[in-house]
Amino acid sequence: MADTIAAISTASGAGAIGILRLSGPEALPIAYRHLSFFEGAFPLSSIKPRNAYTCRFVDGEKKLDQVVFIYFAGPNSFTGEDLCEIHTHGNPILLREALECLFRSGARPAKQGEFTKRAFLNGKIDLNEAEAIGRIIGARSRFELELAQKNAFGEISRLASNLRSQLISLKAECEAEIDFSTEDLTFESLEERKKRIRSISAICSNLLKRSSDTETLLERSRVVLYGEPNTGKSSLMNLILGRDRSIISEIPGTTRDYISEDFLLSGVPIRLIDTAGVRETGDKIEKMGIERSEKEFSQADVRLFVIDVSQKNDWDKFAEENRSKLEGAIVAANKSDIRDPSWDPEYILKKNYPGTVLVEVSCKSRQGLDTLVSEISFKLQGLESSEDYVLLEERNRFHFSSITRSLENCLTLMEEGAPAEIYIKEIDSALEQIGEVNGRVDTEEILGRIFSKFCVGK
């Protein structure tokens, strides 16, 4: 780039340290004009890359701060250009004053994401890694952070490169058959070729599904507490949250509408919802709340059915009558510390309802609470680890979807008996799309849209 940019790279607000960053051909000379070294005369040529210098930042004769200065010579820097960092005390007024000095000396204000954009344009990172940096900065949970870190370290890029190699091999085989069809040469059979195409298509389809599952989790999974009045739903919600959120009362029907709260469970954002107790009632308002409870429970990602085992009940009959609600749910058998003799977990467990898990808990003694939280996490598909999940930006979801469509079209043409000269065009289309995944993007509009989401100093 012909010009030199500068910006504050630390978060807004006061802090112990603030960082000013410059990048471009004049980064070192511009920074040097405002540095006063304790050694006295210290020529610019004496500054060595990647060495930390303690010095003063000055505006003419005025001393602004004592700073640490580091110079990174291009191309061995984050942006691939000469890059300087000036570490000051983190007062926002001080940082702004120092930044204005750099502007007066020839730097211009950096645009949003411009440092990372320059790193991409100079080949220091690919587009997937650039987008992952944005995700790392804005991650709302440990789960999202882990996924962004995997992308920053090249997981999507490596996958795309592998698929590209497979597609190039496939295209080469097709072209060889076209060019040397009259020669006495052996090529792979049509069925073998179809098998290779299906394999590549399956990888893309699986990637898209995993990405869809990931987005669902990132958008806050819904965990809904459901059950009859006074079973302890509100108490359980407060215990899981670790604070009082729902009103607790022995009067049935206290919760007339559902109450929700967003928080992190095992590093994953979820929405915990306490619903109105379900019972027969003539109260119109309570009835509306119960209808909402039924709706929330049916749409939940994790259904938490709370029952009161301190009450005498025909639990075998209860299990039969509530089969549809027990299937796939976590049954929280509350008040287990004062259980009634009629209670036996086998009444529910022996039904072998698919996906049903039973945990005996006590809101009073906190017995079983850790087990219950673990079961909720497990129901959310093992969120202790991001191993089985993948984070795709909207841009890449489009490209992988396009690849899948092209390969499906290719298979259809092959089934219809089309010659290689025809169906190879679909392979070309897939190759073009896979090239876009790692950043063969040359339109300013697309790049602008991606980097506009970054903060100015990044």
Question: Does 221 show up as a binding residue in the annotation?
Answer: no
Instruction: Find out whether 319 is annotated in a ligand binding site.
Output: no
Does 275 carry a binding-site annotation?
A: yes
User: Which residues make Cβ contacts (< 8 Å) with residue 411, sequence separation at least 6?
Assistant: 194, 197, 198, 201
231 is in an annotated binding site: yes
The secondary structure of the chain, three-state, reads: CCCCEEEECCCCCCEEEEEEEEECCCHHHHHHCCEEECCCCCCHHHCCCCCEEEEEEEECCEEEEEEEEEEECCCCCCCCCCEEEEEEEECHHHHHHHHHHHHHCCCEECCCCHHHHHHHHCCCCCHHHHHHHHHHHHCCCHHHHHHHHHHHCCHHHHHHHHHHHHHHHHHHHHHHHHHCCCCCCCCCCHHHHHHHHHHHHHHHHHHHHHHHHHHHHHCCEEEEEECCCCCCHHHHHHHHHCCCCCCCCCCCCCCCCCEEEEEEECCEEEEEEECCCCCCCCCHHHHHHHHHHHHHHHHCCEEEEEEECCCCCCHHHHHHHCHHHHCCCEEEEECHHHCCCCCCCHHHHCCCCCCCEEEECCCCCCCCHHHHHHHHHHHCCCCCCCCCCCCCCHHHHHHHHHHHHHHHHHHHHHHCCCCHHHHHHHHHHHHHHHHHHCCCCCCHHHHHHHHCCCCCCC
Report whether 252 belongs to an annotated binding site. yes
φ, ψ dihedrals at 301, nearest 5°: -75, -35
Q: Is 277 annotated as a binding residue?
A: yes
Is 325 annotated to bind ligand? no
- Please check if 158 is assigned to a binding site: no
Q: Was 235 annotated as part of a binding site?
A: yes
Question: Does 244 carry a binding-site annotation?
Answer: no
Q: Known binder of ligand: residue 230? A: yes
> Could you tell me the sign of the dihedral formed by the alpha carbons of 164, 167, 171, 172, in that order?
positive
Annotated binding residue at 293? no
User: Across the chain, which distance is largest between two alpha carbons, in Å?
Assistant: 92
> For residue 86, which of 170, 140, 8, 164 has the smallest C-alpha distance?
8
Position 66, amino acid: Q
Q: Please count the CA atoms within 13 angstroms of the CA of 431 that sit on its side-chain side.
A: 13
Find out whether 77 is annotated in a ligand binding site: no
The pair of three-digit structure tokens given for residue 187, joined into one six-digit string:
């090529």
Is 417 annotated for ligand binding? no
Is 298 labeled as ligand-binding? no
Say whether 404 counts as a known binding-site residue: no
- Identify the residue whose tokens are 């898990």: 357
107 is in an annotated binding site: no
Distance, CA of 276 to CA of 292 (rounded, Å): 8
Token pair recorded at residue 178: 């076209």
Check the annotation: does 276 bind a ligand.
yes
Rounding to the nearest 10 degrees, give the CA dihedral for residues 331, 337, 338, 339.
Answer: 40
287 marked as part of a ligand binding site: no
Q: Is 458 annotated as a binding residue?
A: yes
Q: Is 328 annotated among the ligand-binding residues?
A: no
Annotated binding site for GTP: 230-235, 249-255, 274-277
Question: Which residues define the annotated binding site for K(+)?
Answer: 230, 249, 251, 254
Annotated binding site for (6S)-5-formyl-5,6,7,8-tetrahydrofolate: 21, 85, 124, 458
Annotated binding-site residue numbers for Mg(2+): 234, 255
Annotated binding site: 21, 85, 124, 230-235, 249-255, 274-277, 458
